[in-house]
Structure 1
Amino acid sequence: MDAKFLSNKPLRSIAPSGRALLLLVSTSLLLGSIVLDAVAGRLGELQSLTSPLVCVWGMTAIAGFLALPILRALKTGQFIREEGPKAHLKKAGTPTMGGVFFVPLGVVFAIAFSGFSPLVMATSFLTLAYGFIGWLDDWQVLRRKSNKGISPRMKLVLQISFAIAFCLWVMLTQPVTVTQLSLPFGLMLPLGILFWPLAGFVLVAESNATNLTDGLDGLLGGTAAIALLGLGALIAPTHPELMVFCGAMSGACLGFLVHNSNPAKVFMGDTGSLALGGALAAVGILSGNLFGLLIVTLLFFAETLSVIIQVTYYKVTKGPDGVGKRFFRMAPLHHHFELSGWSELQVVGAFYGITALLAAIAISIL
């Protein structure tokens, strides 16, 4: 089964360039942050969305020009899996592990702009911890000269271990109200002890979801920048320090996009993708906005769900020959659209729009 209902081809005339998409998403997020700050009366203040976004954006873009020659010299060229779309084979050799320069910059400036807020420092620790897991995976890929890094079991063990450590810190230092979830129409849902397994699951699931989404030039960088800004706007009234963190990390993603937009000169690797998922999840947990996080990052959830459906359907339909059927042309979901006739830029542009819509919905109902 090919899920033909998902294979409608977009208009061929809609074919933006990578630079055009970069300009569009960057301008939109900048204007959005300015409007949000102006409405809240935060414009010009250090604790705003705009100040950290603009500062980190510029610093990360500059850092990229310095980091790229180093990554090339270290021979960090990406290995492309043969079972992926054939059009991606030409990307082999593009430097990867770009998360090593944009994630730490976002974290450092977030801590500085927040005045060394304990919440931001804890979120930053979790972000760097998940980035470290990604770095281990990227390093093993480069060392072995294949697309296989650390084992899935080892990656999961590390993710769960850091998730437990973070949840224990939250449990010991934060008020019991952190276990209440914000729902639409001002409703609050107290979860009590059930909050903690949910929080651990969200940390692991969100980091894996962003990891799966990182499959096209500029895809995760742009969608994460939009999601972080949307989440920052959502939590601004109750957690301004975490709003600053979101603004800084959104700016880091935009600065990285200067070098990662199609055609990409560098990939973020697991170092960046796992860190971004951890950052989003940590902010959602500490702000009590897991429901808002779900809406804002629903696209990442769909990417994960497409892989689960693909694997399950293949196993269920496996015949005597040991071969099963595929529900999608290829998973994750962005590859399905690619193989259905969409260009890479069309997929990325559409996913940017969907993420922006989801962020707007979350802000309007929560």
Structure 2
Amino acid sequence: MNLPFNISMHVFMFILSFALSLILGPMLIPMLTRLKFGQTVRDDGPKSHYKKTGTPTMGGMIFLIPVVVLAAYYAGQDKRVIPLIFVTLGFGLIGFIDDFIKVVKKRKDGLYWNQKMFGLLLVAVTFAVYVSRTQTSDIIIPFMGMDKTVSLDGCLFPLWWLF
């Protein structure tokens, strides 16, 4: 793709994703409100929080949809994007389940903290193991130049990705 000025494709995709999120937001928020996908407020909180009751939840889809669609398009040019799409969808799925439980079961907390952390850790570990088996273990040290690298062998590389 020839851009009219000199910016990288990554920056262009970021700007386009942001613009699509701005367009998608005003369309999706009223739909979530109509479907009664509203927030349930905790009883033990301050009274001022009661005005948040019914605030649409699942708003992460506003950002997730453009990012995944553009990343899928970009994956045709760079296959390394595909694992990132799966990680993004994995984290998004955990957020969706959390919000879905809040809406359907009317449970204020959604997933319990240990369930949420287990899900996030499962996605992160899966990604770290995959990357450690398919990518080079050389890490570029920022601000030192592209030729300054550190090689992380063995279990250090998946731990680096997990961190």
**TM-score, normalised by the number of residues in structure 1:** 0.39
Stretches of structure 2 lacking an aligned partner (at least 5 in a row): none
Equivalent residue in structure 2 for 1:111, among 61, 69, 72: 72
Q: Deviations over 1:269-326 (max 9, x none)?
A: xxxxxxxxxxxxxxxxxxxxxxxxxxxxxxxxxxxxxxxxxxxxxxxxxxxxxxxxxx
Equivalent residue in structure 2 for 1:182, among 126, 141, 153: 141
Equivalent residue in structure 1 for 2:26, among 60, 65, 69: 65
Change (3 A) 1:190 1:86: farther
Tell me what 1:153 maps to. 114
Amino acid of the residue matched to residue 6 of structure 2?
A: R
The structure whose RCO (Cα within 8 Å, separation 6+) is larger is 1
Amino acid of the residue matched to residue 195 of structure 1?
A: F
Tell me what 1:76 maps to. 37
The secondary structure found in structure 1 opposite 2:89 is helix
Per-residue deviation at 1:58?
A: 2.9
Count of aligned pairs: 158
Equivalent residue in structure 2 for 1:121, among 69, 82, 93: 82
The secondary structure found in structure 2 opposite 1:96 is coil
Native 8 Å contact 1:71 1:96 kept in 2: yes
The secondary structure found in structure 2 opposite 1:118 is coil
1:199 matched to 2:161: yes
Change (3 A) 1:87 1:132: same
Q: Deviations over 1:191-223 (max 9, x none)?
A: 3232312422x3xxxxxxxxxxxxxxxxxxxxx
Per-residue deviation at 1:117?
A: 1.9
Native 8 Å contact 1:75 1:95 kept in 2: yes
**What does 1:232-251 correspond to in 2, within 5 Å?**
none
Cα RMSD for the two superposed structures: 2.7
1:142 matched to 2:103: yes
Stretches of structure 1 lacking an aligned partner (at least 5 in a row): 1-36, 203-366
Per-residue deviation at 1:124?
A: 1.3
Amino acid of the residue matched to residue 182 of structure 1?
A: I
Identity in percent: 30
Inter-partner Cα distance in structure 2 for 1:121 and 1:85: 44
Equivalent residue in structure 1 for 2:56, among 95, 103, 112: 95
**What does 1:232-271 correspond to in 2, within 5 Å?**
none
The secondary structure found in structure 1 opposite 2:80 is helix
The secondary structure found in structure 2 opposite 1:97 is coil
**TM-score, normalised by the number of residues in structure 2:** 0.80
Native 8 Å contact 2:40 2:53 kept in 1: yes
Per-residue deviation at 1:77?
A: 0.9
In terms of fraction of residues, the more helix-rich structure is 1
1:133 matched to 2:97: no
Higher mean C-alpha deviation, range 135-144 or range 79-88: 79-88
Tell me what 1:270 maps to. none
Inter-partner Cα distance in structure 2 for 1:116 and 1:82: 50
